[in-house]
Amino acid sequence: MKRPVKSVVVLTGAGISAESGIRTFRAADGLWEEHAIEDVATPEGFARNPQLVYRFYNERRRALQVPQVKPNPAHLALARFEQRWPGDFLLVTQNIDNLHERAGSRRVIHMHGELLKMRCINTNLVFSTREDFDFDTECRCCRNVGNLRPHVVWFGEIPFQMQEIYQALERCDLFVAIGTSGNVYPASGFYQVARQHHAYTAELNLERTGSRFDEHLIGKASAIVPAFLDRVLATALAGC
Ligand code: BV8
């Protein structure tokens, strides 16, 4: 670590939820293997074939809610760290699942939205949902059909709460990326913003990605995240 750590930003990607049974994107059996990104995760794909996109998200929403899908030790370690950390802490996730919240994390920014929410394209009002929905589902605001879309950020759309994220990145002393391939911008550039502001950066991932962090820890998130966070906390409490 370059200096005493007071402010921490953690970015998570699909890899942190893999051991909970949620499919990642670029693995051999990944989500993008069955669908082209442009068909299921762009506004143009939604306009072209809304039923395919509704079905893609309805299937993932159902898969998220089966009993065997639950937070794993990496999610739980992050929630515990947030409770015990004496300084500033922000968890930014690219994931649209709710496993961080179910693990007990309280301050979570879902920069790419949430699977268990839908949005009216007419009023921009957001509603929680655990059910399937599609073109024929009436929105609760306009009482019309055809207005509802998944409350997720598609390619070509602007991620949520970017100003708050960049402010936290510019202030942090430690930036940690967990379970992300670093393929999607702007999340893939966060570690560089942190480095430019002299933060120490660490990548915890199953494999080394092309990004240049100060530290690379290779392993499964549930195995390496708890010990890493314990080390960060012990170092800070020892006043190093
Ligand atoms: C934007 C929600 C402007 C939907 C998602 C050309 C070049 C560069 C960039 C672009 C370009 N053309 C266009 C762009 C921009 C584009 C982009 O990056 N495209 C890519 C394809 C090149 N980005 C956008 O359009 C973004 N918007 O740029 O707006 C802007 C910018 C800044 C400020 C204002 C405006 C919007 C992108 C959002 C897209 N929506 N998700 C949905 O989920 O369906 S992206 C989706 O894919 C995820 O959210 C996530 O972000 C991404 C997948 O990445 P990962 O999470 O990393 O998952 P992946 O499978 O790739 O990797 C998993 C990793 O975990 C692996 O490394 C693996 O080894 C590891 N792992 C696996 N198991 C474990 C593990 N690690 C630990 N333990 C394990 N057990």
Q: By the 8 A CB rule, do 174 and 1 touch?
A: yes
- pTM, two decimals, is 0.97
- CA 183–ligand 1 middle distance (angstroms): 5
Q: Which amino acid is at 60?
A: R
158 CB near ligand 1 (under 6 Å) = yes
Adjacent-strand bridge partners of 89:
8
Strand arrangement, sheet containing 108-110:
108-110, 88-93, 7-12, 174-178, 200-205, 215-218
- Count of all residues that appear for the chain in the document: 240
Q: Residue 199: what pLDDT?
A: 97
SS3 56: helix
Contacts 24+ apart (CB under 8 A), 121-129: 121/147, 121/148, 121/149, 122/147, 123/147, 126/151, 129/61
Return the sign of the alpha-carbon dihedral for residues 163, 169, 171, 172.
positive
pLDDT tens for each residue of 25-81: 877 777 777 899 999 999 999 999 999 999 999 999 999 999 999 999 999 999 999
29 CB near ligand 1 (under 6 Å) = no
91 CB near ligand 1 (under 6 Å) = no
Q: Residue 226: what pLDDT?
A: 98
Q: Residue 174: what pLDDT?
A: 98
Q: Residue 108: what pLDDT?
A: 98
Nearest CA to ligand 1 atom 3: 158
Q: Which residues are part of the catalytic machinery?
A: 112
What's the CA gap between 29 and 63, in Å, rounded? 15
pLDDT tens for each residue of 1-34: 667 889 999 999 999 999 999 999 877 777 777 8
pLDDT tens for each residue of 104-137: 999 999 999 999 999 999 999 999 999 999 999 9
155 CB near ligand 1 (under 6 Å) = yes
- CA 235–ligand 1 middle distance (angstroms): 32
Q: Residue 3: what pLDDT?
A: 77
CB-neighbour burial class of residue 127 (10 A; exposed 0-12, middle 13-18, buried 19+): middle
DSSP state of 187: G
**How much of the chain, in percent, has pLDDT values that exceed 70?**
98
Q: Which amino acid is at 234?
A: A
Q: What are the structure tokens assigned to 88, written together?
A: 């500033």
